[in-house]
Structure 1
Amino acid sequence: MKTYSFVQAVRAAAFSCALGSLGIAATTAYAALGDIAAMPAGAVTRAVSGGAARVVSYVDASGTSVSEYVAGGTGTVFAYTWQGPAQPNLEILLGRYAPDWRSAAAALHAAGGDDLHAARVDGSQVVVETGGHMRAYAGRAWLPAALPVGIGEGDLQ
C-alpha cells in the first residue's frame, strides 16, 4: 500500500479543484483553437505583425477580457489570452486539443511540477499557461506549430 504525505494530498486536492473549476466557469468562446474564427458581435479587432494575424478582443459573460489570435492567411485561431475575475472554460477554448492538455497536466501533476497559483503545461500540440488567484486570473493558450511567421510566444499578451 502506497502512502502519501499531507502536503501531497493537499496539492492533489488543490490541483483537482482547479481543473474541475475550469469545466464549470462561464465563457463565451466563438471558436476553439485550430478552428476558423467568426467575428463576434461587439468585438474589437486589431492587426498585428503587419497583418500576419489579427487579435479579436471581447469581454465574456463573467467579465473576463479574452483575446483570440487569428492567422491572417487562413483565418484559424492559433492562440487565446485572458485576464479577469473568472478563468475561461479551457475545454471550450482548446477544443480538440483539450485531451492533449489534460494528459500533459496530469503528467505534470504526477511529477510534482504543478503549483497552486500558476502552471505551464506543455502538451505535444498545445501550450497552456494559467495563473492568478480568486477574482484575478490570467493566462494564455496557443498552438506552437500554428504560430504565423513573425509572431512568437512573447507576442501573445
Structure 2
Amino acid sequence: MYKLCFNRSVSAAALAVLVCCASAHAQLGGTMPSGAVAGASAPRTVLNGALRERTWTDAGNTVINEYATSTGQIVAYAWQGPTMPDLHALLGKYADSYQAGAAAAAGSGNLHASRVARSDVIVESGGPMRGYVGRAWLPAALPAGVTSDDIQ
C-alpha cells in the first residue's frame, strides 16, 4: 500500500512539474510572456528592435531561442542541443500542418536533415545524434526587414 501511494505521489508531482514547465513557454503564433519566466532569459531586443529574443534550456538540455515581434507574437524558434525539442509543444496549432508536410516528404532518403515548407509554417531540422539543430518560423508573420536567415 505504501509503495502504491508513493508511486501516485511521485506521478502527481511529475505531472505538476510538466504542467508548470509547459505553461511557462508559449507556442508558435502565441504571445511571449512579458514578465520573467523561470528558467528563461529576460527578453532582449534584436535586429534593431524588429524582434525580441528569449532563451531557455529544455529538459533534454537543448537550448531554445524564441523570437517574437514587438507586439509579443511568437514568430520563430531556433534550437541546438543533444535532443530534439518537443516540436508539438513548440509548434502548437501549426503542429498538424507540419506533420502533414513531414508525412508527404517521408522517404526522401535524408536521415540527417529535413525541411518541411508549408504556406503557414516552415520547419528545418537536422544534425547527427546528440547534435540536433533546427528552426521553425511563420513566413507570413516575420516583420519587415527580417528574413529566415536571422532566425538562429
Q: 1:36 pairs with 31, 45, 55, which one?
A: 31
Q: Within 5 A, what are the aligned runs for 1:1-157? A: 30-38=25-33, 39-44=36-41, 45-72=43-70, 74-109=71-106, 112-113=107-108, 115-157=110-152
Is the Cα contact below 8 Å between 1:100 and 1:124 reproduced in 2? no
Is the Cα contact below 8 Å between 1:108 and 1:114 reproduced in 2? no
Q: TM-score, normalized by length of structure 1?
A: 0.76
Is the Cα contact below 8 Å between 1:55 and 1:69 reproduced in 2? yes
Structure 1 residues 125 and 42, CA gap change in structure 2 (3 angstroms): same
After TM superposition, give the deviation of residue 93 of structure 1 in Å: 0.4
After TM superposition, give the deviation of residue 132 of structure 1 in Å: 1.1
Is the Cα contact below 8 Å between 2:39 and 2:57 reproduced in 1? no
Q: Which residue of 2 aligns with 1:5?
A: none
C-alpha separation in 2, matches of 1:42 and 1:105: 31
Amino acid at match of 1:123: R
- Which of the two has higher C-alpha Rg? 2
After TM superposition, give the deviation of residue 46 of structure 1 in Å: 2.1
Structure 1, 28-37 or 136-145: larger mean CA deviation:
28-37
User: After superposition, what is the alpha-carbon deviation per residue over 1:28-74, rounded to whole angstroms, capped at 9, x for unaligned?
Assistant: 570110001124224223211211111101111211110000111x2
C-alpha separation in 2, matches of 1:75 and 1:114: 38
Is the Cα contact below 8 Å between 1:86 and 1:137 reproduced in 2? yes
User: After superposition, what is the alpha-carbon deviation per residue over 1:72-92, rounded to whole angstroms, capped at 9, x for unaligned?
Assistant: 1x2010000000011001011
Q: Give the count of matched residue pairs.
A: 128
Amino acid at match of 1:94: L
Structure 2: runs of 5+ lacking an equivalent:
1-20
Q: TM-score, normalized by length of structure 2?
A: 0.78
After TM superposition, give the deviation of residue 114 of structure 1 in Å: 5.0
Structure 1: runs of 5+ lacking an equivalent:
1-26
Amino acid at match of 1:82: W
